Amino acid sequence: MQWILILIFSIFCLFTLTNQWVRKSRKYESVNSVASSYDSWTNDRLLENLWGEHIHLGFYEKPRIKKDFRKAKVDFVHELVRWSGLNQLPKGSRVLDVGCGIGGSSRILSDYYGFDVIGISISQEQVKRANELTANRDFCSFEVMNALDLKFEKGSFDGVWSVEAGPHILDKQTFADEMLRVLRPGGVLAVADWNQRDSTKHPLNFFEKLIMNQLLIQWTHPEFSSIEGFKNNLLNSPYCGSSVETSNWTKYTIQSWNESIYEGFRRPSSILKLGLRSLLKAFKEIPTILMMRWSFSRGLMKFGVFKSRG
């Protein structure tokens, strides 16, 4: 009898959670809706308390390897630095972090590699928090700025870095153009993003379209580009100075989706200390996280990395 009651209660909770998830979306409307979403996520401290100062995926060298989730995020930064060739730049090089979040990657690029880093975000609260968390602002600073309208001169940076910012940007071509415009000739571009399967070669079926729609509206995404599509955006830019190389890092990052849920059980106090509202908010994110995990496992989504020279 006890197990029947637990099952009924679990079904009721799942139904309630799913109903709230479907009804309360965060659909992209403009850059202001993106800014508003990230202002909210930053102010409630839920992601920061749960995942630390990095809100991107982690890097796992082997499937199901045991690794602290926060360490995997740090490892991701170092792996992308090495893969892209950013580590070949000398200390003191100027690097722009486009979509910097609360500054986790920027601080590694500055503190570990000795770069002079400027991070930009559309969210005022992210920039405020990033500056609060940064000890050495002389070589790592943050500004509120639209990635589609960078307030820097052509060729201002030796390196341009962007991780998981592209899905929030509608105009992918201008996004590519602006990053390459501010990159000096011979400079290093390093980009990592969530990408959709190339629908021009493999069209989405009805069920996949439903899934994709939910992935877009739940986390304020206007659209996902494919790896091939964004590679073409970079190659078609008038500021592209060399070839563009890509790789699919899904197998190295897919474990992050499960780990992001497990963190709530490993660090329950990080959520509970924020109160009941944050606990409920954390549970409401689980369906989207699971749907992302499924989409990456099925090839509907891919984790693309891109590198080029200015």
* Each residue's pLDDT tens digit, 232-262: 999 999 999 889 999 999 999 999 999 999 9
Residue type, 290: L
Of 117, 239, 245, 115, residue with least CA distance to 185: 239
Count of positions (residues) in the chain: 310
Asked whether the predicted pLDDT for residue 214 surpasses 70, the reply is yes
Residue type, 216: L
Asked whether the predicted pLDDT for residue 10 surpasses 90, the reply is no
Contact predicate 54/106, CB 8 Å: no
How distant, in Å, are the alpha carbons of 68, 211, 280 from that of 295? 24, 8, 24
* Each residue's pLDDT tens digit, 130-173: 999 999 889 999 999 999 999 999 999 999 999 999 999 999 99
Q: What is the distance, to the nearest Å, from the Cα of residue 105 to the centroid of all Cα atoms in its chain?
A: 11
Asked whether the predicted pLDDT for residue 1 surpasses 80, the reply is no
Residue type, 165: A
Q: What token pair was written down for 200?
A: 């021009």
CA dihedral 219, 161, 297, 291 (to 10 degrees): -10
Name the pairing type of β-strands 301-309 and 244-248. antiparallel
pTM of the full predicted structure?
0.91
Contact predicate 307/188, CB 8 Å: yes
Distance of alpha carbon 284 from alpha carbon 47, whole angstroms: 13
Name the pairing type of β-strands 157-163 and 183-196. parallel
Q: What token pair was written down for 270?
A: 């990080």
The per-residue pLDDT of the chain, averaged, comes to 92
pLDDT tier at 186, thresholds 50, 70, 90 = very high
What domains can you pick out in the chain, each with its CATH number?
A: 28-309 (3.40.50.150)
* Each residue's pLDDT tens digit, 19-77: 444 555 688 999 999 999 999 999 999 999 989 999 999 999 998 899 999 999 999 99
